[in-house]
């Protein structure tokens, strides 16, 4: 694969190369060489458990680094490196080319402001559009997410969680972004409204040509909606591949173990194949594969030498059909 | 009136002073040191004071600093340093009484109102708000003019005036705390409401309430000094900073400001020091809770 | 059929004009495991809170071991008796423990209240052992523990009084998949060993399939379908149950069709049985 040069061919919506993020008080990087691309009109899922670094990765694309963090590598959004941007450029990026939909819509909106204010605030402060134009766009986007213009006058408290999340999606699209980051956008919603939000994201991505990075802990959901899936563990991407393939035939033992540990509808009742132990502590140095301590296939090699990243970060990838780790 | 940085610390702060907390650590340390110094001075005053604070030496009246009187002598010929040291006792004891009484009573009212809710909450909240509407100084002046001289009356009056600050804060904290699942968990376990309040809710909200009380201490000191300056409260001969400012008025008119300015300075510094320490504490508690 | 350890009859509870729980009845056999499935606003959590006595019912009764126990317990004896019968594990392990109380103190408090004057140290070790926590965890404060470890502490606390029924309100929803599997397995082991009955409140059908014998599906405060778990999940009778099942994402999933099915169901008057 060629690296995206600013001048050559249409740039990827997101292009992360060798991202390494260090936090104060940790013995190893919290993100350790993350490579990731999202093309326009593509849905890419980033799957992992809490502490795997999936949320950090997506926030880095907006230049939202935790305090005291130092980053290496490149994070290109629409062809431009976020890590070298100044505050003004970053602000322009966040109101324009990249936007984020958060997990809990209630926590991400000021309850005292009307929906209309909330939607138009970003573009109006960006100074590129006047109030009338902003209102027109807000109505257009509310329509696109299946909501009527009368909502502009309502307050967040008067809307259900599902409706509010659709408003959040409309708000994210106000600046016509090239990249949409969705961090667990359906986790706080009911199971049946989840489908609605997903269907909507999918339609809008197609219509506006946006690249979508979908961050989730749910492998089933990731497989259901995305073109490609990256599985993260302890700050590294351990396996990447087409969604269907990865779900049916996981090659990294962690992916397989995660699938086996998920309570599923099509599995017989009874004990689950739980993964023993816990993810490695950030205060400890890591030698070798981060999953080695919990992996049933681990050998001396795994504990001593970190495996290469692509496409499966494992010394002994699983072969054959659906491995039950 | 502004509120704290997070919803969990709805501390009441007077405008202006609250902004001081933005300043960094050296100021905080200096204030902490100053508070310690004033408290120490008050404790050791009878031994540290070089002279009897009420010994009159009219021949030396309005004298400047000298070897005998390091900070000079006031218009009545009394040693300023001794009066300042012993004055620290009354000046700190008064606010202490205000804070202790308003904290204990305020926490009790707020706890009951927040936990029980319903009509009891309405009655308690409305009646404390009534006190809010009535200026504390006015209340104090009223009580003192009925009661006559003495420290108890103004302290009690101010304690009542400060009670709503504490009770309102406590009530809001208890309301937030009791919706936490751990409280439900204890209820399901069969613990009584009183046990849960005393053993779990109170210790969890205590740091925030105590931070508010520390801030209140500064305000109470200022209010009591004001009352003393008006000649209310502290009996005439008792050394007290507010009283000293009042007594020093004539000295200023004669061109010898030292005996009035020093207690003024001490009042201001002590109030600021208590505020900075309290604000800093409140911020740290708020951050830990967030 | 064994005597039901929990018998809920015609429970009703309104908040203002909203009927949060509307004529809900179910039974839990001794040592059984019953799931209550529903979305937010289905009334499942309110039902659970009434069962453990945190809320009162407007009408209907809750029989535990054949004895009535509706509404808030009055007096110490009644309160303690109720606590020994029904215990609860809450959703958020980060909020369900007092941040200032160590693991050992949490357990000691409960034991002191219910079985005063015995050797608590041994029982505490036993309980920690039962939930897979080492003795080292005993001195830890909640913030020093991971989410999974905290939930184990909450389970140990609930088990300390040896209740007949354990109500688990979304008890694994906040946990990571790998930790969730550990806790679910632990719960299965505990039921096998102690014969405690589970009332499992959840929105996750995968979890229901994994740990329950019977299931009740709730919507808008009413029970729309109930029966043995395998039967309900394999051959759902109510349109809402079918919608719930189809909403679980998997490869080849069609969100558009589910969204349409949901809208169709919303338009139908609530509570009317569907074909």
State the count of interchain CB pairs (< 8 A) between A and C: 125
Q: Within a domain: residue C139? A: no
User: What percentage of chain B has pLDDT greater than the value 90?
Assistant: 16
Q: Within a domain: residue B5? A: no
- CB burial readout C2-34, b (16+ within 10 A) else e: eebbbbbbebbbeeeeebbbbebebbbbebbbb
Is A161–C262 a contact, with Cβ atoms under 8 angstroms apart? no
Q: What's B272's domain CATH number?
A: 1.10.3720.10
- Do C224 and C253 share a domain, yes or no? no
Q: Within a domain: residue B145? A: yes
**Is the separation of the CB atoms in C19 and C221 below 8 Å?**
yes
- Do C240 and C210 share a domain, yes or no? no
Rounded Cα gap, residues A193 and B100, in angstroms: 54
- Do C196 and C244 share a domain, yes or no? no
Q: What is the pLDDT of residues B131-189, one digit of tens each?
A: 878 777 787 788 878 877 778 888 888 898 899 999 999 999 999 998 889 999 999 88
Give the distance from residue A195's alpha carbon to the nearest chain C alpha carbon, in angstroms: 5
Is B188–C79 a contact, with Cβ atoms under 8 angstroms apart? no
Sheet holding C214-219, edge to edge: C86-89, C165-169, C197-202, C33-37, C214-219, C222-228
- Per the structure block, which two tokens stand in for A154? 């309502």
- Do C22 and C67 share a domain, yes or no? yes
Lowest-pLDDT range, A176-180, A237-241, B13-17, B247-251? B13-17
Is C53–B185 a contact, with Cβ atoms under 8 angstroms apart? no
Is C96–B188 a contact, with Cβ atoms under 8 angstroms apart? no
Rounded Cα gap, residues A238 and A257, in angstroms: 13
Q: Within a domain: residue C171? A: yes
Q: Which domain holds residue A148?
A: 105-176
Q: Within a domain: residue B17? A: no
Give the distance from residue B283's alpha carbon to the nearest chain C alpha carbon, in angstroms: 19
Q: Which residue of B has its CA nearest to C77?
A: B190
B188 beta partners: none
Split into its structural domains, chain B has a count of 1
Q: Which domain holds residue B136?
A: 23-289
Its ipTM equals: 0.84
Give the distance from residue A222's alpha carbon to the nearest chain C alpha carbon, in angstroms: 8
Using CB atoms, which chains have 3+ pairs under 8 A with C?
A, B
| Exposed / middle / buried, residue B37 (Cβ in 10 Å: 0-12, 13-18, 19+) | middle
Q: Within a domain: residue B2? A: no
Split into its structural domains, chain C has a count of 2
Q: Which domain holds residue C255?
A: 236-275
Among A202, A244, A267, whose Cβ lies nearest the Cβ of C255? A202
Among A247, A269, A273, whose Cβ lies nearest the Cβ of C209? A269
- Res A69 pLDDT > 70: yes
Return the number of other C-beta atoms located less than 10 Å from residue C194's C-beta.
Answer: 15
- Do C274 and C177 share a domain, yes or no? no
Q: Within a domain: residue C217? A: yes
Best to test chain C binding among B8, B189, B191, B208 (most C CBs inside 10 Å):
B189
Check CB contact of C82 with chain B, cutoff 8 Å.
yes
Q: Find the chain B residues whose C-beta atoms sit closer than 8 A to any C-beta of C.
A: 180-182, 184-192, 199-200, 203-204
pTM here is 0.81
Best to test chain C binding among B177, B180, B182, B288 (most C CBs inside 10 Å):
B182
Residues in A touching C147 (Cβ below 8 Å): 50
Is A49–C258 a contact, with Cβ atoms under 8 angstroms apart? no
Return the number of other C-beta atoms located less than 10 Å from residue C215's C-beta.
Answer: 26
Lowest-pLDDT range, A31-40, A154-163, A241-250, B281-290? B281-290
- Report the pLDDT averaged over residues B249-260: 78
- Cis before residue C13, ω within 30 degrees of 0? no
What is the pLDDT confidence band of residue A240, given thresholds at 50, 70 and 90? Answer: very high
Q: What is the pLDDT of residues C55-109, one digit of tens each?
A: 888 999 898 887 776 555 567 888 888 888 999 999 888 888 998 889 999 999 9
Query: In C170-230, where do the E strands start and end?
Result: 197-202, 214-219, 222-228
Q: Which residue of C has its CA nearest to A257?
A: C178
Residues in A touching C214 (Cβ below 8 Å): none
- Per the structure block, which two tokens stand in for A217? 């802990």
Give the distance from residue C65's alpha carbon to the nearest chain A alpha carbon, in angstroms: 27
Q: What's the distance, CA B2 to chain centroid?
A: 18
Is C114–B190 a contact, with Cβ atoms under 8 angstroms apart? yes
Check CB contact of C15 with chain A, cutoff 8 Å.
no
Among C83, C91, C92, whose Cβ lies nearest the Cβ of B188? C83
Place of tokens 């993964």: A275
Rounded Cα gap, residues A179 and A214, in angstroms: 11
- Report the pLDDT averaged over residues A164-183: 89
Residues in B touching C114 (Cβ below 8 Å): 190
- Res C135 pLDDT > 90: no
Give the distance from residue B113's alpha carbon to the nearest chain C alpha carbon, in angstroms: 19
**Is the separation of the CB atoms in A249 and A322 below 8 Å?**
yes
Q: Within a domain: residue A185? A: no
The answer for C 142-181 residues in CB contact with B (under 8 A) is: 154, 157, 161
> φ, ψ for residue C55 (rounded to 5)?
-140, 160
Q: What is the pLDDT of residues A104-134, one digit of tens each?
A: 888 888 888 899 888 888 777 766 678 888 8
Check CB contact of A258 with chain C, cutoff 8 Å.
yes
What is the pLDDT confidence band of residue B87, given thresholds at 50, 70 and 90? Answer: confident
- Do C67 and C48 share a domain, yes or no? yes
**SS3 labels along chain B:** CECCCCCCCCCCECCCHHHHHHCCHHHHHHHHHHHHHHHHHHHHHHHHCCCCCCCCCHHHCCCCCCCCCCCCECCCCCEHHHHHHHHHHHHHHHHHHHHHHHHHHHHHHHHHHHHHCHHHHHHHHHHHHHHHHCCHHHHHHHHHHHHCCCCHHHHHHHHHHHHHHHHHHHHHHHHHHHCCHHHHHHHHHCCCHHHHHHHHHHHHHHHHHHHHHHHHHHHHHHHHHHHHHCCCCCCCCCCCHHHHHHHHHHHHHCCCCHHHHHHHHHHHHHHHHHHHHHHHHHHHHHHHHC
Q: What's the distance, CA B239 to chain centroid?
A: 18
pLDDT at B286: 66
Q: Within a domain: residue B18? A: no
- Do C32 and C82 share a domain, yes or no? yes
Give the distance from residue C243's alpha carbon to the nearest chain B alpha carbon, in angstroms: 31
Best to test chain C binding among B181, B195, B198 (most C CBs inside 10 Å):
B181
Is B203–C100 a contact, with Cβ atoms under 8 angstroms apart? yes
- Res A146 pLDDT > 80: yes
CA dihedral A176, A180, A182, A185 (to 10 degrees): 30
Q: What is the pLDDT of residues C187-223, one digit of tens each?
A: 999 999 999 999 999 988 989 999 999 999 999 999 9
Check CB contact of A87 with chain C, cutoff 8 Å.
no
Split into its structural domains, chain A has a count of 1
Rounded Cα gap, residues C210 and C162, in angstroms: 24
Q: Within a domain: residue B173? A: yes
Q: What is the pLDDT of residues C163-184, one digit of tens each?
A: 999 999 998 888 888 888 989 9
Give the distance from residue C77's alpha carbon to the nearest chain A alpha carbon, in angstroms: 39
User: What percentage of chain A has pLDDT greater than the value 90?
Assistant: 23
Best to test chain B binding among C98, C142, C164 (most B CBs inside 10 Å):
C98
- Report the pLDDT averaged over residues A304-317: 84
Q: Within a domain: residue C153? A: no
Using CB atoms, which chains have 3+ pairs under 8 A with A?
C
Check CB contact of C63 with chain A, cutoff 8 Å.
no
β-pairing verdict for C214-219 and C222-228: antiparallel
**Is the separation of the CB atoms in C219 and A277 below 8 Å?**
no
What is the pLDDT confidence band of residue A321, given thresholds at 50, 70 and 90? Answer: very low
> Helices H, strands E: what count in chain C?
10, 10
> φ, ψ for residue A209 (rounded to 5)?
65, 30
Give the distance from residue B249's alpha carbon to the nearest chain C alpha carbon, in angstroms: 53
Q: Within a domain: residue B10? A: no
Residues in C touching B189 (Cβ below 8 Å): 83, 87, 109-110, 113, 157, 161
């Amino acid at each position: 694969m060629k690296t995206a040069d600013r001048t050559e061919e249409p740039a990827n919506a997101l292009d992360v190369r060798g991202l390494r993020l260090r936090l104060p008080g940790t013995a190893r990087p919290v993100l350790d060489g993350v490579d990731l691309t999202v093309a326009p009109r593509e849905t890419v899922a980033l799957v992992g458990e809490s502490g795997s670094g999936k949320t950090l990765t997506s926030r880095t694309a907006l230049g939202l680094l935790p305090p005291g963090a130092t980053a290496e590598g490149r994070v290109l959004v629409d062809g431009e490196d976020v890590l070298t941007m100044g505050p003004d450029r970053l602000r322009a990026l966040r109101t324009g080319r990249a936007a984020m939909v958060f997990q809990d819509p209630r926590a991400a909106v000021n309850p005292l402001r009307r929906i209309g204010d909330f939607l138009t605030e970003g573009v109006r402060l960006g100074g590129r559009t006047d109030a009338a134009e902003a209102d027109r766009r807000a109505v257009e986007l509310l329509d696109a997410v299946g909501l009527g213009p009368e909502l502009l006058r309502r307050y967040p408290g008067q809307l259900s969680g599902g409706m509010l999340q659709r408003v959040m999606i409309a708000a994210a699209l106000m600046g016509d972004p090239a990249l949409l980051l969705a961090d667990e956008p359906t986790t706080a919603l009911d199971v049946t409204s989840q489908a609605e939000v997903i269907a909507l994201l999918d339609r809008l991505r197609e219509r506006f040509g946006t690249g979508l990075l979908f961050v989730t802990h749910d492998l089933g959901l990731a497989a259901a909606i995305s073109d490609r899936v990256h599985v993260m563990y302890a700050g590294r991407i351990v396996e990447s591949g087409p969604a269907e393939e990865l779900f049916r035939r996981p090659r990294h033992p962690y992916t397989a173990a995660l699938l086996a540990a998920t309570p599923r509808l099509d599995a017989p009742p009874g004990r689950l194949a739980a993964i023993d132990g816990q993810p490695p502590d950030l205060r400890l140095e890591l030698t070798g594969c981060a999953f080695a301590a919990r992996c049933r296939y681990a050998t001396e090699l795994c504990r001593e030498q970190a495996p290469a990243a692509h496409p499966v970060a494992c010394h002994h990838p699983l072969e054959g059909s659906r491995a039950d780790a | 009136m502004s509120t704290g940085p997070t919803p969990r610390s709805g501390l009441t702060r007077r405008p202006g002073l609250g902004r001081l907390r933005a300043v960094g650590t050296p100021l905080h340390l200096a204030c902490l040191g100053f508070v310690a110094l004033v408290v120490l001075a008050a404790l050791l005053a009878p031994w540290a004071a070089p002279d009897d604070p009420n010994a009159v030496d009219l021949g030396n009246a309005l004298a400047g600093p000298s070897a005998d009187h390091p900070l000079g002598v006031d218009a009545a010929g009394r040693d300023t340093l001794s009066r300042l040291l012993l004055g620290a006792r009354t000046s700190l004891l008064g606010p202490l009484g205000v804070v202790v009484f308003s904290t204990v009573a305020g926490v009790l009212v707020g706890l009951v109102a927040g936990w029980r809710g319903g009509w009891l909450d309405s009655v308690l909240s409305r009646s404390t708000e009534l006190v809010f509407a009535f200026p504390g100084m006015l209340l104090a002046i009223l009580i003192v003019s009925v009661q006559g001289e003495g420290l108890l009356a103004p302290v009690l009056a101010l304690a009542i005036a400060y009670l709503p600050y504490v009770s309102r804060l406590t009530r809001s904290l208890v309301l937030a705390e009791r919706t936490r699942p751990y409280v439900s968990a204890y209820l399901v376990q069969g613990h009584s409401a009183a046990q849960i309040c005393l053993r779990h809710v109170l210790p969890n909200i205590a740091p925030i309430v105590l931070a508010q009380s520390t801030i209140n201490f500064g305000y109470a000191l200022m209010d009591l000094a004001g009352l003393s300056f008006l000649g209310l409260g502290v009996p005439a001969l008792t050394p007290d900073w507010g009283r000293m400012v009042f007594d020093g008025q004539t000295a200023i008119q004669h061109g010898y400001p030292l005996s009035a300015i020093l207690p003024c300075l001490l009042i201001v510094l002590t109030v600021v020091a208590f505020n900075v320490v309290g604000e800093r504490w409140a911020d740290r508690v708020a951050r830990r809770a967030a | 059929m064994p005597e039901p350890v929990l018998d809920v009859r015609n429970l009703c509870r309104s908040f203002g004009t909203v009927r949060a729980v509307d004529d809900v009845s179910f039974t839990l056999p001794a040592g059984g495991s019953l799931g209550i499935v529903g979305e937010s606003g289905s009334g499942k959590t309110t039902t659970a809170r009434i069962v453990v006595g945190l809320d009162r019912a407007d009408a209907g009764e809750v029989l535990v071991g054949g004895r009535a126990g509706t509404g808030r317990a009055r007096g110490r004896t009644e309160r303690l008796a109720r606590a020994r019968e029904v215990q609860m594990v809450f959703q958020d392990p980060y909020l369900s423990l007092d941040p200032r109380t160590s693991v050992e103190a949490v357990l000691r408090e409960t034991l002191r209240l219910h079985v005063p004057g015995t050797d608590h140290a041994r029982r505490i070790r036993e309980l920690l052992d039962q939930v897979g926590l080492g003795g080292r965890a005993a001195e830890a404060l909640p913030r020093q523990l991971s989410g999974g470890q905290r939930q184990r502490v909450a389970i140990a606390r609930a088990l300390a009084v040896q209740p007949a029924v354990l109500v688990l309100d979304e008890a694994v929803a906040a946990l990571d998949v790998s930790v969730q599997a550990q806790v679910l397995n632990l719960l299965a082991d505990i039921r096998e060993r102690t014969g405690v009955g589970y009332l499992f409140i959840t929105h996750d059908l995968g979890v229901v399939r994994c740990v329950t014998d019977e299931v009740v599906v709730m919507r808008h405060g009413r029970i729309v379908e109930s029966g043995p778990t395998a039967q309900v999940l394999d051959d759902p009778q109510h349109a809402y149950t079918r919608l719930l099942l189809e909403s679980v994402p998997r490869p080849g999933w069609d969100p558009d069709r589910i969204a349409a099915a949901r809208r169709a169901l919303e338009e139908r008057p609530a509570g009317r049985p569907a074909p």
